[in-house]
């Protein structure tokens, strides 16, 4: 009697986490018959993890030896293979069921459909594929659909149609900003999916949403990674598993960045820098626009790498002088081709002129970089395809490391795609208009961008194109919002109004309002407003005081996939009002930010999720689970701290690396147990990868009113040791000294 095949042999190739089970038994033999979009096809299902299944329809002509998945990559995924399929169907009318980790996937070939259920049989999603067109239909559901990258209709994607067009011509640029479309769709009911192939349009206008490829000829291969989990943190971790975890940029990139346009002279450049230091307004980075985008920028013409001698007669000398004042410098650059391929490590001769090759294009940067340039601002590139966008993101990460192998690079991009976080790419929202509606829309834009795996995001403070709505009030409200965005940067036409002191000089800067419909010079009555500078100072100083908290959240993002700027859904998924909230967000786990976006506002309605919250400014204890009205004046953006928070705050600094002889303050917000991992490294190098980092694990036991500190595993004490912390609980402040050994302190 023949021995019956071992089921584990049948499932060989599936990941161990999935413990896959086919019902019934064997994989189907490869018999032609199934046709989708007019082509012979095979359905495959493969496990990726306990929470993620790969649903694929392939052209049979693309299969190698009848077994291997053959889906062309675009650079977005971190792996080219995710394990062997455990379901394969080529015959119409057949069906299979696969149990994979926490999922059950039911597959039919006539009609072509995937039904995903929990282990208890609850349906999470049903995807059907039209056999003639390849259009994918799925349930829209009753809860918000989020993600899909930067820009586009906001906040909840339901009810909209999105062509997923990249660039500044994608969707309502003046209010919604540039579009970085990423087909990562989050169903807040507990599922998400990344449509790796093909690229197409989303239609969420009906009870059944549709994903439409460019046409039947482009329908295959269809490659979907479907994620299911009850906890949002797991969903975000699965996305990071697929497209990569964020790399950590340098610490200085989280300080304030000041952009400059239409430069007058060398003296002006130095004077603006010295004014920051003389006025004691914190700032780390000075950014200079290129000529062509303005009449007189850092270079000779658009796309050039030659310096404009009228304003930079001695570029290295100026860069050295700025470095002596502890400023970093970033330069605006554009790309002149529609394609970019390869890597900086490809063999290229010096002087190579093929601008479509990353190695040659980076070579054009090297002479300027060697002078001491600290970062780059890659603009344009809307016409680049997906692969080229990612090649460009990668080039600005790997190219600088050829010259400075142990320094983390910085680049602020206009375009990108899924996976850009692997190159620590910053992103800004493009040439938006200075209107209240733009500011209001940018809160949900920020949330959806962060949910799409792009953690380092910001906007032009005040809006790029000035309008009659650009007043001191609008600028300040935008500045306050930006203080709680990962990218804290001011930029725009009439650029001297973007300086913290610019609203009290009477000089808006060069009048650059051409080429944009609706552009206008701000009213002259606004140009002598003495309130702006002190309020900007307040938020600059707060940003720098919060750097220990922010940098720790950046580290959490890089290791878990959780963004820095967070939708309330991420921590309150079972609170429908929190899930639907689009005008406020969490800054890390513990701070709730409610930007003021209404002109002349004297109060702000805020929803506080369940639990107890503390007003950051007044210390008032406020019960959550309800909407409150908070009075505001021009200098107040409402901030609330969750009960059960350990909030580290540093001293005020003028730049992030400044040595200030003051202890770190640790504020305890009681009402629940709390934990926080305070992260620190040198802020510049990659040495943290070799264990050169310090993690102080802080635990608060609320009932015992006790704080304990210990050194996180894998880390070590960095100098100075011992560290002095000032711990504050209400009116009680106590100094403690931590030398790396476990320490307890009662309050």
**DSSP state letters, 353-422:** --TTBHHHHHHTTHHHHHTT--EEEEE--TT--HHHHHHHHHHHHHHHHHHSTTS---BEES---TTGGG
Look up residue 670 and give its two tokens. Answer: 């009681």
Transcribe 484-506 into DSSP letters.
TSSS-EE--SSGGGGSTTGGGSS
Give the residue-averaged pLDDT of 506-514: 83
Q: Would you say residue 478 has pLDDT above 90?
A: yes
Pair (310, 386) in one structural domain: yes
Q: In which band, very low, low, confident or very high, does the pLDDT at 351 lie, cut at 50, 70 and 90?
A: confident
Closest by alpha carbon to 294, among 302, 283, 286? 302
Residue 657 lies in a domain: no
- What pLDDT, on the 0 to 100 scale, is given for residue 66? 52
- What pLDDT, on the 0 to 100 scale, is given for residue 4? 39
Pair (123, 255) in one structural domain: no
Residue 299 lies in a domain: yes
Q: For 172-224, how does the pLDDT look when each residue is reduced to its tens digit (9 = 90+)?
A: 999 999 999 999 999 999 999 999 999 999 999 999 999 999 988 999 999 99
Residue 656 lies in a domain: no
Whether the CB-CB separation of 310 and 296 falls below 8 Å is answered with: yes
Q: In which band, very low, low, confident or very high, does the pLDDT at 65 lie, cut at 50, 70 and 90?
A: low
Give the residue-averaged pLDDT of 589-596: 98
Pick the last residue of a domain from 509, 529, 553: 553
Neighbours of 73 (CB within 10 A): 12
Q: Residue 210: phi, psi to the nearest 5?
A: -135, 140
Cα–Cα distance for residue pair 390/417, rounded to 1 Å: 6
Give the residue-averaged pLDDT of 734-744: 96
- What pLDDT, on the 0 to 100 scale, is given for residue 33? 84
- pLDDT > 70 fraction of the chain, expressed in percent and rounded: 95
Neighbours of 523 (CB within 10 A): 10
| Total residues belonging to the chain | 747
Q: For 211-266, how does the pLDDT look when each residue is reduced to its tens digit (9 = 90+)?
A: 999 988 999 999 999 999 999 999 999 999 999 999 999 999 999 999 999 999 99
Whether the CB-CB separation of 596 and 630 falls below 8 Å is answered with: no
Cα–Cα distance for residue pair 157/736, rounded to 1 Å: 49
Give the residue-averaged pLDDT of 152-168: 96
Domain count, the chain: 4
Q: Would you say residue 67 has pLDDT above 80?
A: no
Whether the CB-CB separation of 34 and 41 falls below 8 Å is answered with: yes
Look up residue 76 and give its two tokens. Answer: 């977005």
Question: Any alpha helices (H) in 11-76, and if so which ranges?
Answer: none
Q: In which band, very low, low, confident or very high, does the pLDDT at 20 lie, cut at 50, 70 and 90?
A: very low
- What pLDDT, on the 0 to 100 scale, is given for residue 83? 84
Whether the CB-CB separation of 372 and 329 falls below 8 Å is answered with: yes
Q: In which band, very low, low, confident or very high, does the pLDDT at 513 lie, cut at 50, 70 and 90?
A: low
Pair (285, 434) in one structural domain: yes
Residue 653 lies in a domain: no
Whether the CB-CB separation of 629 and 657 falls below 8 Å is answered with: no
Cα–Cα distance for residue pair 603/601, rounded to 1 Å: 6
Angle, in degrees to the nearest 10, between helices 232-243 and 547-560: 70
Cα separations (Å) of 653 from 32, 205, 661, 662?
A: 69, 50, 11, 11
Pair (583, 538) in one structural domain: no
Residue 245 lies in a domain: no
Pair (572, 543) in one structural domain: no
Q: Would you say residue 570 has pLDDT above 90?
A: yes
- What pLDDT, on the 0 to 100 scale, is given for residue 5? 39
Q: In which band, very low, low, confident or very high, does the pLDDT at 69 lie, cut at 50, 70 and 90?
A: low
Pair (543, 581) in one structural domain: no
CATH number, domain of 73, equals 2.60.40.1760
Pair (222, 261) in one structural domain: no
Pair (226, 267) in one structural domain: no
Host domain of residue 120: 7-230
Whether the CB-CB separation of 542 and 639 falls below 8 Å is answered with: no
pTM for this predicted structure: 0.94
CA angle 436, 437, 442 (to 5 degrees): 100
Residue 303 lies in a domain: yes
Give the residue-averaged pLDDT of 613-639: 98
Q: Would you say residue 311 has pLDDT above 80?
A: yes
Pair (266, 176) in one structural domain: no
Residue 649 lies in a domain: no
Q: 100 or 18: whose pLDDT is higher?
A: 100
- What pLDDT, on the 0 to 100 scale, is given for residue 21? 41
Give the residue-averaged pLDDT of 666-682: 98
Q: 437 or 66: whose pLDDT is higher?
A: 437
Residue 446 lies in a domain: yes
Pick the last residue of a domain from 528, 553, 578: 553
Neighbours of 207 (CB within 10 A): 8
Give the residue-averaged pLDDT of 549-576: 98
Look up residue 43 and give its two tokens. Answer: 């359905």
User: In whole numbers, what is the pLDDT of the chain averaged over residues?
Assistant: 93
Pair (274, 172) in one structural domain: no
Q: Count Cβ atoms within 10 A of the Cβ of residue 402 and give its class: 0-12 exposed, 13-18 middle, 19 or more buried.
A: middle
Closest by alpha carbon to 217, among 202, 196, 200? 200
Q: Would you say residue 16 has pLDDT above 50?
A: no
Q: For 92-137, how does the pLDDT look when each residue is reduced to its tens digit (9 = 90+)?
A: 989 999 999 999 999 999 999 999 999 999 999 999 999 999 999 9
Pair (128, 153) in one structural domain: yes
Look up residue 745 and give its two tokens. Answer: 């302190």
Pair (88, 187) in one structural domain: yes
CATH number, domain of 714, equals 2.60.40.1180
Q: In which band, very low, low, confident or very high, does the pLDDT at 742 lie, cut at 50, 70 and 90?
A: very high
- Of 6-15, 91-100, 588-597, which gets the smallest average pLDDT? 6-15
Cα–Cα distance for residue pair 352/361, rounded to 1 Å: 8
- pLDDT > 90 fraction of the chain, expressed in percent and rounded: 88
- What pLDDT, on the 0 to 100 scale, is given for residue 13? 35
> Following CA atoms 292, 297, 299, 304 in sequence, which dihedral angle do they give, to the nearest 10 degrees?
-20
């Amino acid at each position: 009697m023949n021995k019956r095949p071992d089921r584990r042999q049948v499932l060989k190739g599936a990941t161990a986490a999935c413990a896959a089970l086919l019902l019934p038994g064997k994989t189907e033999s490869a018999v032609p018959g199934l046709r989708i979009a007019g082509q012979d096809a095979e359905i495959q299902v493969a496990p990726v993890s306990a929470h993620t299944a790969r649903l694929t329809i392939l052209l049979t002509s693309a299969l190698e030896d009848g077994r291997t998945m053959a889906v062309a990559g675009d650079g977005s995924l971190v792996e080219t293979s995710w394990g062997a399929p455990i379901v394969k169907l080529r015959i119409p009318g057949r069906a299979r069921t696969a149990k994979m980790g926490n999922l059950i996937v039911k597959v039919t070939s006539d009609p072509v459909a995937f039904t995903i259920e929990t282990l208890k049989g609850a349906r999470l999603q049903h995807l059907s594929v039209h056999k003639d067109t390849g259009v994918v239909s799925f349930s829209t559901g009753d809860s918000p659909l989020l993600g899909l990258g930067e820009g586009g209709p906001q906040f909840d994607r339901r009810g909209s149609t999105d062509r997923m067009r990249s660039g500044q011509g994608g969707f309502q640029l003046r209010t919604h900003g540039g579009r970085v479309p990423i087909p990562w769709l989050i169903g807040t009911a507990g599922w998400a999916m990344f449509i790796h192939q093909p690229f197409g349009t989303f239609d969420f206008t009906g009870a059944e949403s549709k994903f439409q490829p460019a046409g039947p000829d482009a329908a295959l291969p269809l490659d979907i990674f479907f994620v299911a989990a009850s906890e949002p943190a797991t969903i975000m971790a699965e996305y990071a598993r697929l497209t990569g975890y964020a790399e950590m940029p340098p610490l200085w990139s989280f300080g304030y960045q000041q952009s400059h346009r239409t430069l007058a002279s060398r003296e002006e450049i130095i004077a603006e820098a010295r004014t920051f230091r003389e006025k004691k307004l914190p700032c780390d980075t000075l950014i200079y626009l290129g000529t062509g985008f303005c009449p007189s920028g850092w270079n000779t013409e658009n796309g050039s790498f030659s310096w404009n001698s009228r304003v930079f007669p001695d570029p290295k000398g100026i860069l050295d002088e700025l470095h002596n004042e502890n400023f970093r410098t970033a330069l605006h650059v554009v790309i002149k081709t529609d394609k970019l391929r390869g890597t900086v490590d490809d063999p290229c001769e010096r002087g190579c002129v093929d601008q479509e090759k990353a190695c040659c294009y980076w070579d054009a940067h090297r002479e300027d970089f060697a002078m001491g340039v600290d970062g780059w601002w890659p603009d344009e590139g809307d016409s680049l395809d997906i692969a080229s966008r990612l090649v460009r993101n990668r080039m600005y990460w790997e190219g600088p490391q050829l010259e400075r192998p142990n320094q983390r690079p910085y680049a602020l991009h206009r375009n990108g795609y899924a996976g850009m976080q692997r190159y620590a790419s910053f992103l800004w929202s493009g040439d938006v208009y200075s209107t209240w509606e733009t500011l209001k829309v940018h809160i949900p834009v920020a949330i959806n961008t962060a949910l799409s795996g792009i953690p380092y995001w910001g906007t032009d403070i005040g809006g790029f194109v000035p309008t009659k709505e650009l007043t001191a009030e609008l600028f300040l409200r935008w500045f306050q919002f930006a203080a709680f965005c990962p990218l804290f940067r001011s930029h725009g036409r009439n650029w001297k109004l973007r300086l913290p002191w610019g609203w009290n000089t009477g000089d808006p800067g060069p009048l650059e309002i051409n080429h944009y419909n609706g552009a206008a010079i701000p009213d002259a009555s606004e140009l002598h407003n003495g309130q702006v500078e002190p309020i900007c100072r307040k938020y600059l100083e707060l940003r720098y005081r919060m750097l220990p908290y922010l940098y720790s959240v950046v580290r959490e993002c890089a290791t878990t996939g959780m963004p820095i700027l967070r939708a309330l859904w991420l921590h309150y998924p079972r609170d429908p009002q929190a899930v639907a909230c689009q005008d406020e967000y969490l800054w890390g786990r513990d701070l709730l930010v409610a930007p003021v976006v209404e002109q002349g506002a004297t109060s702000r309605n805020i929803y506080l999720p369940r639990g107890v919250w503390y007003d950051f400014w007044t210390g008032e204890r406020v019960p959550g689970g309800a909407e409150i009205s908070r009075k505001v004046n021009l200098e107040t953006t409402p901030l609330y701290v969750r009960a059960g928070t350990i909030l580290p705050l540093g001293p005020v600094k003028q730049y992030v690396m400044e040595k200030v002889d003051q202890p770190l303050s640790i504020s305890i917000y009681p009402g629940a147990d709390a934990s926080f991992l305070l992260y620190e490294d040198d802020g510049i190098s990659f040495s943290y990868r070799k264990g050169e980092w310090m993690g102080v694990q802080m635990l608060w036991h609320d009932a015992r009113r006790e704080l304990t500190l210990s050194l996180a595993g894998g880390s070590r004490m960095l100098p100075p040791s011992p560290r002095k912390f000032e711990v504050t609980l209400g009116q009680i402040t106590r100094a403690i000294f931590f030398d790396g050994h476990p320490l307890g302190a009662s309050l």
